[in-house]
Structure 1
Amino acid sequence: MLRTVTLVALAAYVSAQSLSSGCTSALSSIALNPAASSCLNPLALVSIATGNSSQSIVPAVDNWLTGVCGAPACSNETIAQVVTNITTGCSTELSVTGADDAGAITTLVQQYYPTVRKVLCLKDGSNNCITQSLREIEGVVGTLSLSNIVRLVTDPPRELLVSNITCTNCVKGVYNIVTQDIPEAAASLKTGLDEQCGATFTDGTTPSGITQSASQTAATTGNSNNNSGALSSFSMAGISVSGLAVVSAVFTLLA
């Protein structure tokens, strides 16, 4: 399912003009919603939406993660607003994935958002773990750009299975988070990690230098009645779609 959403998002970015007017409006309303904009930090992805499609997405992703982790978490109310906007406005685009039940999607996102946020904000020393992992992947497959990420997601190189990418302190930290929050998912990963990384990799201990950088400030709430013109010079649909594409692709590559 994640792979399908990734491909849909990337295709939409490449051909943003094909988005329905309702979907464009929905994505723009999310970016202009003060609470959603604060906790999701979409402006940090402007350089991806407006830059060279062959340049690395890693610096922009790192900048985005810094903002997301330093901001208050999204509240359940904000998550519900975002999901409702997307499932309502982008119903045509989502119909190809079968993911158009707003109630069911809202429940799932609210359930797993705290875990995903902890994964996104994990650090190894001073480096964000997602950023560090993406740089390690670039060292194997070359530049991670919007122009080649579709190929990497649909046909991941076997080189990505090497231990210096899979068996890192960051991956162990992520496994520990998943074990604590979603034990049924961790159980399905344990055998493969034990075989490749050794039994101590899944022993639950926290590797030296692994810390959590997610802000503990209370979640913010808000509405979308903000008419600020600060974003008018950018394509908010393109920014929002590129953000979805990048986040989906990151998780697919690291899965």
Structure 2
Amino acid sequence: MDLEDATALRAPLHGREPRPVRTHWVDVDGVRWPLRQVVTLATGVDRSRISTRAAHRALRRLGFETSEAPPPPPGEVPDVTALLDPRNAGAAADFLAAGRAASNEPGLYSWWADAVGAADLTRGLGHEVVPSLVYAGRAGGIRPSGVRSTNTLWGRLATMHLGGRRQFSTFRLTLSACLSPEGGPAVGEQELTDWMHRHLRVAVLPLPIESVAPGEERLLELADPPLNLRDVPRTDLRRALARRRKALPT
């Protein structure tokens, strides 16, 4: 279930009681429910992974009244359109060859799949993935707690995505879930890295640290990358991906 159907959203609330409202609420048929409780019941997403601002937007689109949405993250919303243009995406090998100095900054990135890679992902998920932008994210920035992350585009992409292990990289975990045989052994780390080099391209956008979080929110809103699971609408493809990730052998 996603947040695209007001009638379907009401069904999981039947027979349940709203928890005490602390800050953010949604009015469902005259009853105020905690915002995250409703989204968790309706989608199955753990409350810790729910973006309050995204939930406000989704529920208001369905016609529900909500409390005032929290303010956007600090920092000016940057122009992220460069990450939506495939002409700005380059081979992973070229990114690595440029070295740490070329991307030793916080920022945003987008991963693009070619036709063969998209076909591989489609077979694994049982849902069509087109050759296009498939995943996007951020490196560094200011967390909701106010803590400033020291991560950089080089650290995220070179060290974690292309040189790490799936236990420490959400994107590698996602790709492993798509490419591993269902119920079988997980694809090997080197095999996964080789597949990424063959079938993926990456675009990067360095940003001031205070612009990373608002930029990511804007990027996900515009791109809606199919392999992202956080702060995006639920879809059948994303449900299948979540199941495959959960079933992936450790």
TM-score, normalised via structure 1 length: 0.32
Q: Point out the structure with max Rg over C-alpha.
A: 2
Whose helix proportion is higher, 1 or 2? Answer: 1
TM-score, structure 2 as length reference: 0.32
Q: Identify the structure with bigger relative contact order (alpha carbons < 8 Å, sequence gap 6+).
A: 1
